[in-house]
Amino acid sequence: MRKKIVAGNWKMHKNAEQTEDLLNELIAKIPTDTDTNVIVAPTFVNLASAVDHLEFTNIKVAAQNVHQAEGGAFTGEISADMLKSVGVDIVILGHSERRAIFHETDALIANKVNTALEHDMTVIFCFGEELKDRQSANHFNVVENQLKDGLFQIEAKDWEQVVLAYEPVWAIGTGETASPEQAQEMHEFIRETVRKTYGNEVADTVSILYGGSVKPENAKEIFSKPDVDGGLIGGAALKADDFVAIVTAI
C-alpha cells in the first residue's frame, strides 16, 4: 500500500506567532485517527519551534530547502546537519519557485537530493512543466527530463526516502488546477517512467503527490484518481479549516 500524504508548503508566510497559532489549530482539528501522513513546512526560522510544538502529534515538519554542502562559507544557507539537529528530517527540493526565481538547475537539485539522502532525510521532490511546455505538447518530455536529471542518479534503495510531487507551474498559485484527468494522465506517466528505470517495486510503492491550486472544493476528485497519492498544498495550507478539509478529503 502506498502512503497517503498531504503536505502544506507554507512558503514565505507566517511569523513566529502566526506559525504557533496555525499549528495549534491544526493540532485541534486534524483527526488523530487519520492514516494520512500530514506534513507542514514552515519557514526556516520557525522549524525548531514547530518541531517542539508538534512533538506529541502525528503531524511532521519539513524544511523548504537545504544547501548541498556539509557546511562552510555560504552566507545565508542552511545545511542538512543543521536541519537534523533541530529534528527536521524531511525536505522539499526542486520546487518551481526555487527553479525559476533562485535559478536552481537540475544538476544543483540532484546535488541537494544526494546530500539530503546521505543525511537520511526524506526528500519531497518537486517538478512539473510550464504552460508553454503543455501548449507545445512537450510536457511529458520536460517532466521526464526533470526526473532523470534531478533524481534518477539515486539508487533503488533510496526510494524509500523519496516522495514525488508533480506541480504543473501553470497551476501554482493561479487558481487554475489541472483537471483530475490531466493529473492522473501525468501521474501514470511518472510512475511508468520510474518503473522503466527502477522496476515494479519502486514504481508501485512511491507516493506521487499533486500540487497546484488544490482546495477543499477540488481535493476529493483529484485524490480519487488511482495514481494520485495525496497533495502538496500552498495557499490553502495557510488556513487551518481549508488544510484540514483537504486532509480529510483523502
Q: Which residues are annotated as a binding site for substrate?
A: 9-11, 173, 213, 234-235
Which C-beta is closer to ligand 13P: that of 42 or that of 234? 234
List 95, 97, 129, 187, catalytic entry? 95
- Angstrom CA distances, 226 to 5, 67, 223, stand at 14, 34, 8
Scanning 32-40, 53-61, 134-142, 206-214 for contacts with ligand 13P by CB under 6 A, the matching segment is 206-214
Distance CA 228, CA 212 (A): 13
List 97, 104, 129, 167, catalytic entry? 167
Distance CA 92, CA 115 (A): 13
**Whether residue 167 lies in the annotated active site:** yes
Site for ligand 13P in 74-133 (CB under 6 A): 95
Residue 187 C-beta: closest distance to ligand 13P, Å: 16
Residue 242 C-beta: closest distance to ligand 13P, Å: 10
Q: How close are the terminal C-alpha atoms of the chain, in Å?
A: 15
Answer yes or no whether residue 168 interacts with ligand 13P by CB under 6 A. no
Q: What is the 3-state secondary structure (H, E, C) of 25-69?
A: HHHHHCCCCCCCEEEEECCHHHHHHHHHHCCCCCEEECECCCCCC
Site for ligand 13P in 124-163 (CB under 6 A): none
Binding site for ligand 13P (CB under 6 A): 9, 95, 167, 172-173, 211-214, 232-236
Residues annotated as part of the active site:
95, 167
